[in-house]
């Protein structure tokens, strides 16, 4: 399935948001995820099914100012 992650097109076989984040080896501390314009709470990642052409935004909090 084709999706877009932070604006970059990619192919994935992972049906859930949780599986995608795990595959991408993103650090979970401070990570926020949005699909389209909706922020998906972490407790819903496992049940959230990705669809063809979904736009996923992964945002990591950083320290400093």
The total of structural domains in the chain comes to 1
* pTM of the complete model: 0.88
Give the HSE-up count for residue 4: Cα atoms under 13 Å, Cβ half-sphere: 8
Mean pLDDT of all residues in 6-31: 93
Q: Is 16 within the bounds of a domain?
A: yes
How confident is residue 65, by pLDDT bands cut at 50, 70 and 90? Answer: low
Judged by DSSP in three states, 6 sits in coil
How would DSSP label each residue in 39-53? E--GGGTTT-B--TT
Look up the CATH number of the domain holding residue 9: 3.10.20.30
Q: Is 65 within the bounds of a domain?
A: no
Q: Is 18 within the bounds of a domain?
A: yes
Using the predicted structure, report yes or no on whether residue 63 has a pLDDT greater than 80: no
- Residue-averaged pLDDT of the chain: 93
| pLDDT tens, position by position, 35-45 | 999 999 999 99
């Amino acid at each position: 399935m084709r999706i877009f992650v932070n604006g970059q097109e990619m192919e994935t076989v992972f049906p859930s948001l949780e599986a995608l984040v795990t595959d991408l080896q993103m650090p979970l501390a401070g990570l926020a995820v949005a699909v389209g314009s909706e922020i998906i709470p972490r407790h819903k990642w496992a049940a959230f099914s990705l669809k063809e052409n979904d736009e996923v935004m992964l945002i990591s909090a950083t320290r400093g100012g």
